[in-house]
Structure 1
Amino acid sequence: MSAGTDNESTPRKRKLIEVALPTEAISRASKADKDRKVGTIKNIHKWFAPMPTPAWRALLFAAVVDDPCDDEKRADLLEIIEGLVPDNGTAPSAEALKRAKAVLAEQGQELPTVLDPFCGGGSTLIEAQRLGFSTVASDLNPVPTLVTRVETQLVPTVLGKPPVSGDDGAFEDTEIDPMGGLLADIQHYAKRVEDEVKSKVAHLYEPVKGGEAVAWLWARTVPCTNPACGIDIPLYSSPWLSKQKGREAWLKPVLDDGRVRFEIGMGLKEKVPAATKAARGGKFTCLSCAKQVDEKHIRKVGTDGFMGLQLLAIAVDDESGRHFLPEQDGFMAHEIPMPDDAPEMEFPEQALGFRVQAYGITKQSDLYTTRQIHTLGAFADAVAKVPEWVRSDGGDSDQGVAISSILAICVSKLAMANSSQARWQIDSRHGSAKAQPAFGRNALPMVWDFAEVNPFAKSAGGWFSQLKSMISGINALPREIHAGQAVQADARTAGSMISPRSALVATDPPYFAQIPYADLSDYFYVWLRRAARNIHPDLFGTMATPKAAELIADPFRHGGPGQARQYFIDGFTEVFSSLKQASREDLPLIVIYAHRQEENKDGELASSAWDAMLEAMLSAGLSIVGTWPLHATHSSRQRGIQSNAVASYIAMICRPRPADAEVLDRRGFLQALRRELPERIKPLQQSSIPAVDLGQAAIGPGMEIFSRYARVTEPDGSPMRVRTALSLITKALDEVISEYEEDFDADTRWCIKWFEEYQWETANFGEADKLANRYNTSVPGLVHAGVVKSAAGKAALIKPTDLPANYDPTTDDRLAIWEVAMHLSRLIEGKGPGSGIDAAGELLARARTRTEIDEDTVKGLAYLLHNISEGRGWTESQRWFNNLVSSWPDLQTSARVADKRGVTAEEDVLF
């Protein structure tokens, strides 16, 4: 719980969001939503770093409902929120929604309009409509504006209408489901679009022998630099086509008359050859003379226009499953001429996340094979005819616009799997493989080998799969008949779109300099514009997405990092000033932000993203009155937990700063931090926020203290900078975490100090013995305790991965907090039998039967060790202890299960 501080001269009712939230329930639901592949609004369209819908559902409800100032009544409201966020990440039940709406109706005022000026994928507005709010959405970028317009404005206008296409599918009964008519029409006109496209381009997809081609696998080529060789080197990163058990397949290169061709190796009887790509960097090896070519040569070839393409294999499906064929005679797909209407939009010379320009890929059409451009253009042109088809079939204008807009989005999604950014990826669990679409991360990297899918096949990436995904996403929308409004607008003027003092402002702004939203959106824009400009002229009147006014700190646009940062601050100061005027006086503003602090050149943790956003808020006269960390990143994100990537969002609850706010000096601020931060950090740790995110989460309560004052002054009278305040908050957090050490036994305290100095490295026995005397322990005793190894005048801590597998804390005659934490880490990190969360839970259940062990102290040790590892740059150890903290709720659940089973010292259980 993160309670806000109310310093206003005029008393006001605090909202529930300023006092309490069931953050663990919200985080569970949000993670489940991120992990879901179907039945979610993410299926409608790709957007970058979207906020999970369960989190918005809970935050919007809690922002409007008054805190009852009564523990029992507050618990009832928190229970209602838990009902709104089911653990599986799905939409709430009808009964849960009914209870929530009844509470909202009892507030005594008309519900506010929810305003989001950075609408993105639309999750804020969708969940607002689900709860019964009216909505206004905007974005400078036409791509998210169209997506949100479809979700919140166009779909509601056609709910309950019978299908234009007649009795034509499984969704026609609008009495049972008001979405039924629309879903039937999407299927009907999608099939008509596909038939039209086939009549134009089907001849470009030659049939293959042995089944239906689902993908053609290509590699870029460059000539070998060896004058005596000179063959074209295919650039591919793995020889594997499939690792599915019993169906293994791989590329088998063969030198044939001065060129490399590929046969298909099957099974595991032969040795699988290496790829041409080196393990690290952009180096590739010639398959003929073994000479390496480096990235400099490859870039030169690309910019000179001589990089080529070579077919590696064809993935084919038949009745027996998937298999692979080599290049077939007469295959001419790479020689299809470029159409006259190819998208010629140039990439910026430099842009965040863009790497392709250095290799001669300088415009949108360079991302595609010529066959893909013909096909995507044909799909876009066919979709542009849909409004006319709908009218001819007796449908109204709303139906024509809604259906064609949805299918236009399908075309832009089709481009994700039909470009050279699509990869052939092998499933790490099952070994099967399929094409993975572009934007596995929010960038446009150089891809050496790629998959060109068959758009007419029933496999991943084709038109049918896009349609299936779209229906799944549309079906996840609420069935509210009241349409919202979604317009293209600059967030600086968003407040003018709505009556003053009437909105609940709730938004997830762009993340400083992490994602080049507009530059990436052009990838979709070129196809959306071709398909939908006649029905959305307000969105597609320009050749590209607006860039100049985009509110990100792009150093390439603004002359360097410093200028880009100031542009960001100035822009968001205008945004928050405008939103403050639109916000209803009794309601807080909700701003979501997520960015991890990074070490600067002086070794301190800092974040231009955080301090820029916070500086803009304070400059606009806002004060942070509450903060909530929400752990919401899905387990399969490309960077993943292995990289210690930030996994939590911070919901900042803001209100206008009181006119009579006090001035505080630096000393007073430090005293307030030391007085208040420990109690504010404790709930974060109890909720098992990942250790990697604790520093970010602490920014919230720290900035609550800082922003409640008109200003904090330095000793020379100057105002304290936000960056300085963030640095002081980080140091105060370090002090809070270090205080755990007082609760540890002597052996554990020795281990911590040794770890700080040597981690897992070996050092002199004399140093170990000297430190042991300081902590009233001994090196032989530490060896006996099972935490240290010592031999030949040397000593070292035992890594978790090297600890014995048959450890039982109930029989340990020298038990230390350190030992329990290391064995828990061993089991969580382990891959084989007898490891995992369940085994770790059983060990925890046994350990806490001992009076020496307090499980909160074990978790506190993990936080402390993570903090040490992060400060030293020890990535592997940092990951281990972050995983231990992140797994704590599951550990506790498994421990409770073990308790019920009666795990005791007498059981013969090996861990």
Structure 2
Amino acid sequence: MTADTTAVPRRKLIEVALPLEKINAESAREKSIRHGHPSTLHLWWARRPLAAARAVLFAQLVDDPSSFPDRFPTDEAVAKERKRLHEIIEQLVVWENAGDENLLRRAREEILASSDGNPPPILDPFAGGGTIPLEAQRLGLEAHASDLNPVAVLINKALIEIPPKFAGRPPVFPGAADAQINTWPRATGLAEDVRRYGQWMRDEAEKRIGRLYPKAQLPDGSEATVIAWIWARTVTCPNPACSIAMPLVRSWWLGKKKNKEAYVVPSVLNGKVEFSIGHDPKKAPTKDTDGTVGRTGAVCVGCGAAVELKYIRAEGRAGRMGTKLMATVAEGERTRIYLEPTSEHEEAAQVDRPIDVPDGDLAKNTRDFKTPNYGITSFVDLFTSRQLTALATFSDLVGEARERVLEDALAAGMPEGETLEKGGIGAVAYADAVATYLGFSVSRLADYGSSISTWMPDPKNEGIRNTFARQAIPMTWDFAEANPLSSASGNFWFMIRGIGRTLDVAVTRSHSGSALQRNAADREYNNFLISTDPPYYDNIGYSDLSDFFYVWLRRSLKYIHPEVLSTMLVPKSEELVANPYRHNGKSGAHKFFEEGFREVFRRARETALPDYPTAVYYAFKQQSSDDHGEASTGWETLLEGMIRSGWSIVATWPLRSERGGRMISVGTNALASSIVLALKPRPVDASTTDRRGFINALKAELPGALRELQQGAIAPVDLPQAAIGPGMAVFSRFSGVLADDGSKMTVRAALARINEILDEVLVEQEGDFDPDTRFAIAWFRQYGFDAGAFGDADNMARARNASLEHLERSGILTSRAGKVALLSPVALAEMYAALPR
């Protein structure tokens, strides 16, 4: 079939078709990867997968072949060329290919060919954890990151600014350069120095505070290094006849490996609680006997009295909450050794609180911060005195290590030069750079070294759970105090090793990127192509949470990054997050967010590049709702805001990064965990149309758009969501669509019309699909990934000449207990990956 050779607009891949199945599968797989992943540099919440960002950036820049009917005159030629470009994306998103120079060279050649050899610089004004700027740099593009949050700014500097500055240089630590005969490619020399000076810090810390971490005496008389001490918080039992220091414990379990079970056994002797270690699985805690604290209150282990949470809160706020050592975890030969507590180990932790530790009050954010209810109201309250002593010691050593790096760099022949903040690349800047990563290691140590960290007894993951296991600071009853000088998880060397591995594979082939502290609502956007993942509504309180790290980063690095770390805490009033407690309630928070969001994209629209689509990631709130509920309202608010800001929405791509089918509930299950919007500036002289004109345009354009989507290896279950893009492209190209009464059609009404026409088109096109696909599309439109009755599924399958038995054998659905449910795309990808090859 011959393609239409009349003049066509130049479109990018992201406007037409993407290989979503592969992008989503690799995004999900990436969550289990740690070695060398930027997430091990420093924690940031809700990072976008590198795979997705890499694919989106490539698709923003590379032309779709339909733009060139002279070169690709037939539909077959267009499809063939599009398939070739999609194969490049499918290779790019594989984690193991992230450093494949030949593949990256091919990708850069395609980008240059589609941008007349001069691709635009990339900007993420909500840079956060740095995923998008880093991937722009990997693709050879000029990367710019900005964020209001200083922790995010430092993370981006560490990812895109610093490694290229010092690429190819040998380490300066005495004797380190001799360890490698050949050159030091990329930032491996910098990584080696971080490891060497990090080891020096660890050894020096042991000299200064090693006495606070005594060895454990084993039953055979030998000694072992302690991994962690397990503590329980305590309050006095309110029963006057008892009055023991009753332990508040979530779980007695220490280890659940088969034949190696271990748990704490409490007993009361002479009015005091004692703890021993049990190993008999027959006497192990059950669901009914595990722990002393539940959702409604606690139980005293001495008298069995039920104690309300309000009493525990009152004791905590009065400063009467204590701690009691329950168990000691020691290093064994490829195992953990659980030991009863001793007075020596309990007394070793009783040290004076250091004077020069960072302080500041926790946010009055009752959703994300639960500890203030119990009297833990400041940052120092989150740590034991021994933990504060260790963190302060390591923080002091960052400055001392910097002086040693400077001395060694000068001795190695490096010119002195300017500071890192002033753009230097000599010895002073290098010492600043190494110290920055060492400061990150202290900040990361705080995440594993607070009294919010807990012990995980899981058979496959027996160790310390970090403070931010989720995006909040919860109240923990029993906690694990890690030994920062051990060799197990949660120790200082664990942090250094992770940072070193990230630097070993850091992107350095492109020139240094730029990371600045800027408010997205008032920064300039001239000549930048925007690809960004903005905060959405109140999902995460970034500034409140990141204060936890900021106070330690500031203590360690304020003289190295004085501008970024100038404030006592993270700036909050301008942060684009809908915080009711900060903006006069829910309505004030909603107004603040909506107006701020619109202002950002209004400013970006003023200088948007007309030939390149802007990409905006949108994260859905994971909650149930009906057709008129909050989730759909959030989606509509976003679309409405973009359109009012002067944008035309040209594509909507569902991204799924969940592992194993954690899809959202009835009413929102057609929506992926996040969506990438592709936007182009709408001409200021765009015309209006009426309802009939809008519907006629939909009927004319949606069939062709769906065919293009289907060529992009998109899963049938994602087709309805992706098809919103072409529909919204029709709606938003007009300055307004007039309803029958003369008023402007709302986004909600437009979405309803788009879905109606989409249903009609899909029914017509079902004849082009095989029976299994026809069933999957029809079932998904009705049930999403939720279960439906077997009888209904059987009737639907028979009507399409499909077999439920065959569909189940093929791994498309599950059928059990009279219910049928489709497997999610991610679950399918994981199942296929597990098959023998």
TM over 0.5, yes or no? yes
CA distance in 2, matches of 1:574, 1:603: 27
Aligned to 1:68: 65
Once the 2 structures are TM-superposed, how far is the Cα of residue 346 of structure 1 from its aligned partner? 0.5
Three-state SS of the structure 2 residue aligned to 1:309 is strand
From 152, 164, 176, the equivalent of 1:168 is: 176
Change (3 A) 1:76 1:159: same
Change (3 A) 1:214 1:819: farther
Residues 757-768 of structure 1: pairs in structure 2 closer than 5 A = none
Equivalent residues of 1:422, 1:438 under 8 A apart: yes
Once the 2 structures are TM-superposed, how far is the Cα of residue 554 of structure 1 from its aligned partner? 1.3
Residues 762-841 of structure 1: pairs in structure 2 closer than 5 A = 821=804, 840=808
From 357, 378, 391, the equivalent of 2:372 is: 357
CA distance in 2, matches of 1:882, 1:586: 39
Aligned to 1:216: 229
Equivalent residues of 1:688, 1:886 under 8 A apart: no
Aligned to 2:445: 414
CA distance in 1, matches of 2:603, 2:105: 34
Aligned to 1:83: 91
Equivalent residues of 2:455, 2:480 under 8 A apart: yes
CA distance in 2, matches of 1:591, 1:515: 17
The letter for the 2-side match of 1:218 is W
Aligned to 1:531: 556
Structure having greater relative contact order (Cα 8 Å, sep ≥ 6): 2
From 622, 631, 638, the equivalent of 2:656 is: 631
Once the 2 structures are TM-superposed, how far is the Cα of residue 634 of structure 1 from its aligned partner? 4.2
Query: How big is each residue's C-alpha offset from its partner over 1:403-447, in whole Å with a ceiling of 9 and x where there is no partner?
Result: 0111111111111100122121133xx355100112222112222
Given the two structures, how large is their TM-score scaled by the length of structure 2?
0.84
Q: Which runs of 5+ in 1 are unaligned?
A: 1-8, 763-786, 789-796, 801-808, 825-839, 846-854, 866-875, 899-911
Three-state SS of the structure 1 residue aligned to 2:129 is coil
Does structure 1 residue 397 correspond to structure 2 residue 410?
A: no
Three-state SS of the structure 1 residue aligned to 2:486 is coil
Say which is worse superposed, 545-554 or 127-136, in terms of deviation: 127-136
From 360, 363, 367, the equivalent of 2:382 is: 367
Once the 2 structures are TM-superposed, how far is the Cα of residue 729 of structure 1 from its aligned partner? 5.8
Residues 850-869 of structure 1: pairs in structure 2 closer than 5 A = none
Once the 2 structures are TM-superposed, how far is the Cα of residue 684 of structure 1 from its aligned partner? 7.8
CA distance in 2, matches of 1:130, 1:653: 21
Residues 472-621 of structure 1: pairs in structure 2 closer than 5 A = 472-480=501-509, 482-495=511-524, 500=526, 502-596=527-621, 598=623, 604=629, 606-621=631-646
Once the 2 structures are TM-superposed, how far is the Cα of residue 78 of structure 1 from its aligned partner? 1.8
Equivalent residues of 1:629, 1:650 under 8 A apart: yes
Query: How big is each residue's C-alpha offset from its partner over 1:761-801, in whole Å with a ceiling of 9 and x where there is no partner?
Result: 99xxxxxxxxxxxxxxxxxxxxxxxx67xxxxxxxx9xx9x
Aligned to 1:258: 271
CA distance in 2, matches of 1:252, 1:638: 39
Does structure 1 residue 50 correspond to structure 2 residue 47?
A: yes
Three-state SS of the structure 2 residue aligned to 1:625 is strand
The letter for the 1-side match of 2:490 is G
Aligned-pair RMSD on alpha carbons? 4.0
Once the 2 structures are TM-superposed, how far is the Cα of residue 597 of structure 1 from its aligned partner? 7.0
From 262, 265, 268, the equivalent of 1:249 is: 262
Equivalent residues of 2:660, 2:830 under 8 A apart: no
Does structure 1 residue 138 correspond to structure 2 residue 178?
A: no
Three-state SS of the structure 1 residue aligned to 2:578 is coil
Once the 2 structures are TM-superposed, how far is the Cα of residue 388 of structure 1 from its aligned partner? 1.9
Three-state SS of the structure 2 residue aligned to 1:545 is coil
CA distance in 1, matches of 2:705, 2:402: 56
Aligned to 2:413: none
CA distance in 1, matches of 2:7, 2:585: 44
Equivalent residues of 1:625, 1:655 under 8 A apart: yes
Aligned to 1:849: none
From 284, 292, 297, the equivalent of 1:283 is: 297
CA distance in 2, matches of 1:877, 1:512: 40
Aligned to 1:450: 479
CA distance in 2, matches of 1:644, 1:222: 45
Change (3 A) 1:203 1:586: same
Q: How many residues were matched structurally? A: 785
Equivalent residues of 1:190, 1:407 under 8 A apart: yes
CA distance in 2, matches of 1:894, 1:161: 42
Does structure 1 residue 712 correspond to structure 2 residue 737?
A: yes
CA distance in 1, matches of 2:771, 2:760: 16
Once the 2 structures are TM-superposed, how far is the Cα of residue 681 of structure 1 from its aligned partner? 7.2
From 102, 122, 128, the equivalent of 2:136 is: 128
Equivalent residues of 1:417, 1:461 under 8 A apart: yes
Does structure 1 residue 188 correspond to structure 2 residue 196?
A: yes
Once the 2 structures are TM-superposed, how far is the Cα of residue 66 of structure 1 from its aligned partner? 2.0
CA distance in 2, matches of 1:686, 1:82: 11
Q: Which runs of 5+ in 2 are unaligned?
A: 1-5, 67-71, 73-77, 219-223, 411-426
Once the 2 structures are TM-superposed, how far is the Cα of residue 601 of structure 1 from its aligned partner? 8.4
CA distance in 2, matches of 1:369, 1:239: 21
Equivalent residues of 2:623, 2:664 under 8 A apart: no
Three-state SS of the structure 1 residue aligned to 2:810 is helix
Once the 2 structures are TM-superposed, how far is the Cα of residue 354 of structure 1 from its aligned partner? 2.1
Does structure 1 residue 844 correspond to structure 2 residue 810?
A: yes
Aligned to 2:328: 314
Does structure 1 residue 36 correspond to structure 2 residue 65?
A: no
Three-state SS of the structure 1 residue aligned to 2:25 is helix
Say which is worse superposed, 121-130 or 544-553, in terms of deviation: 121-130
The letter for the 1-side match of 2:542 is Y
Does structure 1 residue 292 correspond to structure 2 residue 306?
A: yes
Equivalent residues of 1:189, 1:386 under 8 A apart: yes
Once the 2 structures are TM-superposed, how far is the Cα of residue 198 of structure 1 from its aligned partner? 2.5
Q: Percent identity?
A: 36
Equivalent residues of 2:18, 2:86 under 8 A apart: yes
Change (3 A) 1:695 1:520: farther
The letter for the 2-side match of 1:281 is R
CA distance in 1, matches of 2:788, 2:126: 49
CA distance in 2, matches of 1:352, 1:79: 44
Three-state SS of the structure 1 residue aligned to 2:117 is coil
Three-state SS of the structure 2 residue aligned to 1:119 is coil
Once the 2 structures are TM-superposed, how far is the Cα of residue 633 of structure 1 from its aligned partner? 3.0
Query: How big is each residue's C-alpha offset from its partner over 1:58-97, in whole Å with a ceiling of 9 and x where there is no partner?
Result: 22122222222232332222222222122x5651522211
Change (3 A) 1:672 1:281: farther
Does structure 1 residue 97 correspond to structure 2 residue 104?
A: yes
Say which is worse superposed, 557-566 or 713-722, in terms of deviation: 713-722
Given the two structures, how large is their TM-score scaled by the length of structure 1?
0.78
Equivalent residues of 1:605, 1:727 under 8 A apart: no
